[in-house]
């Protein structure tokens, strides 16, 4: 790799969080209950995510980390000041749908919810930080799940449209960059978190998931349409959980399996970025007997209102095989994979592959030829603070340094158009996958443990000053 060049002028350096993982205040100022509130820490978290068990409210014997999280709701001024001290150009955050429409189907929004986010955005602008706002980061009001069945019901398109009209009009001039749905392909793997889906006995689960997917895709196009009508300066992006699949061996069957697995991830972004369903996905519907209801108006909306840019999360690459025996050894998170012997792994089994980020960037750029945005990337690790809350997190610095180098190469050597980079969990927050606090990503340590104990005191880690230097140098000083 050649010597580092500066990133493009105006490159948006920053960090990312999600409302359900940092905001807390789940019942404050009229906020309604959401699906993300009722998933507990522990072994029962995944059956709920998988939609195999209904938990529509809090139950005895469980700890629900999202109820308080790190209480960003009451600490946002302190936290944004710390982001500004690092030199953030952008801050990616999300809106809690049920804070603005507590049930989700109201005709009028909750003023206190609107006012909270207005205050947050103004606090960002006070420091010259551009908000990058995810409209739905796995949040779905529980009322919509209980009374409408979540995103399986096309009525949610209109409810989501009401949410978009409310926020685009209220925050005109305060927010320019929007993402419609976080990791939209997560519906296919975690339908309760992705779309508020709980399956009924005997129904075709694949059909339900893809019908929900279609409704979200139409809603995304509707959001893009409304955003551009309210303010032509708005830039709307889609977002997927990305990570290149490598074939396990040179066997053509393994290469084909890797291609198929990649296609599953990209299929929904194909619709959002190109404006139509790819033939291979339509053939899947036909082959598997999936009856997905699509109106002519739906297809017209998808065609006419594609996204302005493509954003994605990247944590690791994956390995695919057509051999059932090889697949007995899979490991990792929701996107489980065969272990790659050429890579090391994090404490949670996520394999560390900086070059995979360059490969993924080039793959997505070649596929869509639209500006890209890396909106999640980071290392979850157990941090050991000293008495003052200081963490010597050289392992995190090493991880981020190598990934930033490959982004630099993708831009300056490969010609990829990249708008910005927001590291995941710039401040410690609750893990979406496990519900743990000990799986930390941040530059800022938060005194809170897995069971909600701690002072919530914020303190800088070693990586805080390192990232500050990276941003100040526009990516050329990484030591």
The residues annotated with a catalytic role in the active site are 376
Q: Which helix (H) or strand (E) holds 423?
A: strand 418-424
30: left (phi over 0), alpha (psi -120 to 50) or beta: left
**What are the Cα distances from residue 96, in Å, to 21, 101, 238?**
11, 9, 18
Cα–Cα distance for residue pair 400/411, rounded to 1 Å: 17
Please give, one letter per residue, the 3-state secondary structure of 307-364: CCEEEEEECCCEEECCCCCHHHHEECCCCCEECCCCCEECCCCCEECHHHHHHHHHHH
3-state secondary structure of 375: strand
- Which position has the token pair 């090391």? 344
Helices of type H across 140-204: 142-148, 155-170, 191-195
**What are the Cα distances from residue 40, in Å, to 67, 141, 349, 386, 447?**
10, 17, 21, 29, 20
Cα–Cα distance for residue pair 461/447, rounded to 1 Å: 12
3-state secondary structure of 235: strand
**What are the Cα distances from residue 218, in Å, to 74, 100, 272?**
35, 21, 9
Q: Which helix (H) or strand (E) holds 301?
A: helix 296-304
Cα–Cα distance for residue pair 417/395, rounded to 1 Å: 28
Which residues touch 184 (CB under 8 Å, ≥6 apart)?
Answer: 194, 213, 216, 217, 220, 238, 239, 240, 268, 269, 272
Nearest to 363 by CA among 292, 405, 295, 312: 312
Kindly state the tokens that stand for 92: 């990616």
With contact defined as beta carbons under 8 Å apart, do 348 and 280 qualify? Answer: no
Cα–Cα distance for residue pair 194/3, rounded to 1 Å: 41
**What are the Cα distances from residue 232, in Å, to 134, 220, 302?**
18, 17, 18
Cα–Cα distance for residue pair 479/469, rounded to 1 Å: 9
The per-type count for the chain, helices as H runs and strands as E runs, is 15, 16
Neighbours of 398 (CB within 10 A): 14
């Amino acid at each position: 790799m050649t010597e580092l060049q500066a990133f493009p002028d105006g490159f948006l350096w920053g960090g990312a969080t999600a409302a359900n993982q940092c905001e807390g205040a789940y019942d404050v100022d009229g906020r309604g209950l959401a699906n993300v509130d009722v998933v507990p820490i522990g072994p029962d978290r995944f059956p709920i995510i998988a939609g195999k068990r209904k938990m529509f409210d809090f139950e005895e014997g469980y700890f629900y980390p999202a109820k308080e999280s790190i209480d960003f709701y009451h600490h946002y001024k302190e936290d944004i000041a710390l982001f500004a001290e690092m030199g953030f150009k952008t801050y990616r955050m999300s809106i809690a749908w049920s804070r603005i429409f507590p049930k989700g189907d109201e005709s009028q929004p909750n003023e206190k919810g609107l006012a909270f986010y207005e205050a947050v955005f103004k606090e960002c602008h006070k420091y010259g930080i551009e908000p990058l706002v995810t409209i739905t980061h796995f949040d779905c009001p529980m009322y919509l799940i209980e009374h409408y069945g979540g995103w399986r019901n096309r009525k949610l398109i209109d409810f989501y449209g009401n949410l978009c009209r409310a926020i685009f009009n209220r925050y005109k001039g305060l927010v320019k960059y929007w993402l419609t749905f976080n990791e939209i392909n997560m519906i296919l793997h975690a339908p309760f978190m992705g779309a508020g889906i709980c399956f009924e006995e005997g129904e075709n689960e694949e059909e339900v998931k893809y019908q929900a997917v279609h409704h979200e895709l139409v809603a995304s196009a509707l959001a893009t349409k409304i955003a551009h009508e309210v303010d032509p300066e708005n830039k709307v992006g889609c977002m997927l959980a990305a990570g290149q699949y490598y074939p396990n061996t040179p066997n053509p069957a393994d290469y084909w399996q890797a291609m198929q697995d990649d296609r599953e991830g990209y299929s929904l972004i194909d619709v959002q970025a190109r404006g139509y369903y790819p033939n291979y996905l339509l053939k899947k519907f036909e082959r598997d007997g999936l009856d997905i209801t699509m109106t002519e108006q739906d297809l017209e909306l998808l065609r006419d209102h594609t996204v302005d840019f493509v954003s994605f999360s990247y944590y690791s690459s994956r390995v695919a095989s057509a051999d059932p025996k090889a697949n007995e050894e899979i490991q990792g998170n929701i996107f489980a994979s065969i272990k790659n012997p050429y890579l090391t792994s994090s404490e949670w089994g996520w394999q560390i592959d900086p070059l995979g980020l360059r490969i993924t960037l080039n793959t997505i750029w070649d596929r869509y030829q639209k500006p890209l945005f890396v909106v999640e990337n980071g290392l979850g690790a157990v941090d050991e603070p000293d008495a003052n809350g200081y963490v010597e997190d050289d392992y995190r610095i090493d991880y981020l340094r190598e990934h930033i180098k490959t982004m630099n190469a993708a831009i300056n050597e490969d010609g990829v158009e990249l708008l910005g980079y927001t590291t995941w969990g710039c401040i410690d927050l609750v893990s979406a996958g496990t519900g743990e606090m000990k799986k930390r990503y941040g530059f800022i340590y938060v005194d809170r443990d897995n069971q909600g104990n701690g002072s919530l005191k914020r303190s800088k880690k070693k990586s805080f000053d390192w990232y500050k230097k990276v941003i100040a140098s526009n990516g050329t000083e990484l030591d």
